[in-house]
Each structure stands twice: as structure tokens, then as C-alpha cells.
């Protein structure tokens, strides 16, 4: 199933909604966007990204696009493509047009999808690579799936350890290949990954004088999540919630690799010295990661809370309710997606939680929620 009149109508509505909010909402002006723009300029003008905490692909995209208006328009277009991809992967999984339309419509009007499409942040393009990976690998288009996976790492490195695991699961559980062929499939992915990552590794070696596989952001994230000030499992300093991390004692370390390692060592030392507090903080992180409304104080108004609860909260409820309707073979089909959800949850209760980091999972929760909505509202006796 490709395009038809109904799909085109939903895509048009999704486009119009995003353009409308782009004009209506004030400039969100996220500092991260300016960091990406500056990093892109550094790369093309000086041959080196000076920021130690970014991956290269989105800065390169921002430089090519030229100005913020083009960046926002690019985000809108990619977001609309994601709406279409929701239909495609839903139909691929269930062969049910009604479920696929429901999932597509939900994502077209989903407030967080609209918000990130006009934010200039990496979430929308990252979701595109992620859902494209899943779509291609379900279709057994392995080369394209491997390319999308590697490209997502060049956007943000969170899922780098995940892809070999999930590719192995696809091969064994979904396609019923033997152990040897499954390992061979992972090796093929690694070869594609190495090929795509090599230019970045060359950049990093020229910059630091030694091999740096990803970036130097892991120390910052680890220490933010594990230090004596952050007992509530928050993700950043906040005017209302207060200071949850202080990096000043690390500023004297001028070597960025040594500073990154010192941050990791301090985080590990804190964990080993405070195991009970760490475990309690991880519980807070789990709740913050799946919280029904944003943690940041600038989004704690009644309006934002209502929007979040009535969109994400309702979708989460329906996605959990979907297990009542899923058959055993459908649950098996979803094992790689469930693995993604478990992996992302674990990573962010170990590091730092944020609803921004949860956003890539919400596109899959939408698909699950549409199963429940379809069964409850339209077809209680239909087969999926």
C-alpha cells in the first residue's frame, strides 16, 4: 500500500497543522539548536567541530539548510514523512487499514510530534531514521535498514549498542534464522556501520590525537545523573527545581578526553559509595521518564499539563490496553519494538531521564494504542 486519497488527505492536514503552529507559536529558541548550527559552521569553515558533545550529521544538515527558517521547514517535512511511515509500518505489522489510518491520524495531530517538528531539535530526524530502520528490517531490506541504523547514530549515539542486539533478535525471532546466520547478519550490519562511521572517526582522531568512537558527552550525562545534588533523578538545572549538577570542579581539566573520563569516574564513585540512594534515584528517574507531563518548570502550567495528559497520557493507557487484543504471533512481531522500549527505559534510568528522550518511543506507542482504539470504538469482533 502506497498513497491513496485518504493518506494524502491526512498528510495534507498534518502539514497544515505544523505550518500553522510554526507561524502561531513564538520562536522556541532552544540553545541546542544554536549549538548544532555553530557546530555545522565550525565543520565546514574550520574542518573541525569544536563542541565535544555533538554528533556530526545534524550540524551538517543545519549548515546545508542555511538558516533557521529552512531548518524548521525541514523539520516539518520530515515530521509529515514520519506520519506516512506510521501508516506504512502499522499496515506492515497488522494488514489492517483501519488500524493504520488511526495510527497515522493520531501521529498527525499528536501535540509532541507537532512540537518537535518546529523545535529545530534532533528528535524528528532521529525518529525518521529509527522508524525507517524498523520498517526496512521488517521488510527484509537489510542494507537500507543498516544504513538507517548507522545514520541514526550519527544524529545521536543512544542506540549504538542496541542495533546489534535488535538485528540479532529480528533474525532469530522474526525470521527464524539459525544462530550462525543471525550472527552473520549482525556482522554485515557492523561492516556497514564501520563504513559509515569511518569519516567521523577520522575527524575525531585528527581532533583529539586518539580514537574517539562517538563523542565526549557520556561523562556529562553520567555525572548529571549520578551526583550528590541530583537525588530526585532530574535531567538538568532548573530555576524552580534548583541546581542538580555542578561541573565547576572539572573546569580545571583542560584536556577534553581526561575531563570526560574524570566525570565518568566521579559518577561511578558516587554510585559505589551510595548504592541505596542510587537505587532510589533510579526509581525517580523511571517515574520521570514515563511521567504524564513535562518535568521542566517552564512547561508546568495547567495548559501544558492538560495537553500532555490528554495526548500522551491517553495514548499510553490505550497502548497498555492493547495487550488485551494482541495475539501471540503479533506479540512476537513486536518483540524488537518491546526491546527498544525496555532498552531506552533502562538507559535513561541509568543516566538521565527526560520526556524529550522518551519521544522516539511514542511513535510505537501510537501504533499499539491504535489497536485498542480500533477494537473498542469500531471493530470489537474484527480480526486484526
How far apart CA 187 and CA 179 sit, in angstroms, is: 12
| Domain contains 301 | yes
Residue with cell 565543520: 43
Query: CA 149, 154, 160 angle in degrees (round to 5)?
Result: 55
pTM here is: 0.95
Is residue 282 in some structural domain? no
Beta bridge partners of 374: none
DSSP code of residue 211:
-
Domain span including residue 63: 5-215+290-378
Domain-located, residue 261: no
Which triple of cell numbers denotes residue 122?
A: 534532533
Residue 103 lies in a domain: yes
pLDDT at 165: 97
Is 233:282 a contact under the CB 8 Å cutoff?
Answer: yes
Closest CA to 37 of 58, 11, 53: 58
- The closest alpha carbon to 113, from 350, 259, 315, 374, belongs to 315
Contact 359/308 with Cβ under 8 angstroms?
A: no
Which of 64-73, 217-226, 287-296 bottoms out in mean pLDDT, i.e. has the lowest? 287-296
* Size (the chain), residues: 384
Place of cell 507537532: 114
Cα–Cα distance for residue pair 323/330, rounded to 1 Å = 10
Query: Is 94 inside any structural domain?
Result: yes
pLDDT band at 299 (very low <50, low <70, confident <90, very high): confident
Evaluate whether residue 124 is within a structural domain.
yes
**What's the start-to-end Cα distance of the chain, in Å?**
17
Q: What is the pLDDT of residues 71-109, one digit of tens each?
A: 999 999 999 999 999 999 999 999 999 999 999 999 999
- For residue 171, the model assigns a pLDDT of 97
What is the spatial distance between Cα 242 and Cα 30, in angstroms, rounded to a whole number? 20
CA atoms lying within 13 Å on the CB side of residue 47: 4
Virtual CA dihedral for 270, 272, 273, 274, nearest 10 degrees? 80
Arithmetic mean of pLDDT, 239-267: 94
85 occurs within a structural domain: yes
Residue 16 has a CB neighbour count (10 Å cut-off) of: 12
Q: Cα(83)–Cα(107) distance, rounded to whole angstroms?
A: 6
Tell which residue, 208, 243, 200, 211, has the closest CA to residue 60.
Answer: 200
At 242 the three-state DSSP class reads strand
- Express each pLDDT in 36-71 by its tens digit: 999 999 999 999 999 999 999 999 999 999 999 999
What's the structural domain count of the chain? 1
What stretches of the chain show up as alpha helix (H) in DSSP? 5-24, 31-46, 57-65, 68-94, 97-109, 111-117, 123-138, 142-155, 162-169, 179-208, 218-225, 256-273, 275-289, 302-308, 314-321, 328-333, 335-350, 355-373
Tens digits of residue pLDDT in 134-155: 999 999 999 999 999 999 999 9
CA dihedral 217, 221, 222, 224 (to 10 degrees): 140
Mean pLDDT of the chain: 94
Q: Has residue 134 been placed in a domain?
A: yes
Residues whose CB falls within 8 Å of the CB of residue 303, separated by 6 or more in sequence, listed in order: none
Beta bridge partners of 242: 238
Integer angstrom CA distances of residue 240 from 8, 41, 226, 300: 44, 34, 20, 10
Dist. CA 288–CA 319, nearest whole Å: 19
- Mean predicted confidence (pLDDT) in 173-190: 97
CB distance 364 to 194 below 8 Å: no
pLDDT band at 13, cuts 50/70/90? very high
Q: How far, in Å, CA of 95 to CA of 98, rounded?
A: 9
Task: Scan for cell 549549538, then name that residue.
Answer: 35
Please give the grid coordinates belonging to residue 88.
506504512
Q: Is the pLDDT of residue 1 over 60?
A: no
Amino acid at each position: 500500500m502506497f498513497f491513496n486519497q485518504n493518506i494524502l488527505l491526512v498528510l495534507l492536514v498534518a502539514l497544515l497543522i505544523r505550518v500553522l503552529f510554526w507561524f502561531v507559536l513564538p520562536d522556541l529558541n532552544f540553545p541546542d539548536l544554536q549549538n548544532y548550527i555553530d557546530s555545522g559552521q565550525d565543520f565546514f569553515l574550520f574542518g573541525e567541530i569544536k563542541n565535544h558533545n555533538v554528533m556530526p550529521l545534524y550540524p551538517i544538515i543545519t549548515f546545508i539548510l542555511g538558516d533557521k527558517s529552512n531548518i524548521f521547514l525541514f523539520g516539518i517535512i520530515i515530521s509529515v514523512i514520519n506520519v506516512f511511515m506510521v501508516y506504512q509500518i502499522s499496515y506492515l505489522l497488522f494488514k489492517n487499514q483501519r488500524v493504520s489510518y488511526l495510527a497515522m491520524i493520531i501521529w498527525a495531530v499528536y501535540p509532541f510530534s507537532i512540537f518537535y517538528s518546529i523545535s529545530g531539535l534532533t528528535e524528528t530526524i532521529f525518529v525518521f531514521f529509527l522508524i525507517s530502520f524498523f520498517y526496512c528490517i521488517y521488510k527484509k531490506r537489510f542494507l537500507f535498514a543498516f544504513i538507517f541504523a548507522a545514520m541514526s547514530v550519527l544524529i545521536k549515539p543512544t542506540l549504538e549498542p542496541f542495533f546489534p542486539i535488535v538485528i540479532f533478535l529480528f533474525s532469530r525471532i522474526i525470521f527464524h534464522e539459525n544462530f550462525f546466520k543471525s550472527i552473520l547478519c549482525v556482522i554485515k550490519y557492523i561492516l556497514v556501520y564501520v563504513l559509515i562511521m569511518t569519516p567521523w572517526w577520522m575527524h575525531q582522531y585528527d581532533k583529539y590525537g586518539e580514537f574517539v568512537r562517538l563523542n565526549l558527552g557520556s561523562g556529562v550525562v553520567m555525572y548529571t545523573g549520578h551526583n550528590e545534588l541530583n537525588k530526585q533523578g532530574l535531567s538538568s538545572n532548573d530555576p524552580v527545581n534548583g541546581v542538580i549538577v555542578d561541573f565547576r570542579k572539572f573546569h580545571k581539566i583542560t584536556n577534553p578526553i581526561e575531563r570526560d573520563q574524570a566525570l565518568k569516574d566521579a559518577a561511578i564513585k558516587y554510585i559505589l559509595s551510595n548504592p541505596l540512594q542510587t537505587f532510589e534515584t533510579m526509581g525517580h528517574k523511571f517515574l520521570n521518564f514515563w511521567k504524564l507531563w513535562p518535568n521542566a518548570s517552564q512547561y508546568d502550567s495547567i495548559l501544558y499539563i492538560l495537553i500532555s495528559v490528554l495526548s500522551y497520557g491517553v495514548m499510553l493507557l490505550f497502548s497498555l490496553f492493547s495487550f488485551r487484543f494482541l495475539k501471540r504471533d503479533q506479540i512476537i512481531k513486536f518483540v524488537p519494538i518491546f526491546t527498544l522500549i525496555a532498552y531506552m527505559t533502562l538507559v535513561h534510568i541509568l543516566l538521565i531521564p527526560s520526556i524529550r528522550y522518551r519521544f522516539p518511543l511514542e511513535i510505537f506507542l501510537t501504533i499499539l494504542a491504535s489497536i485498542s482504539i480500533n477494537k473498542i470504538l469500531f471493530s470489537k469482533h474484527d480480526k486484526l
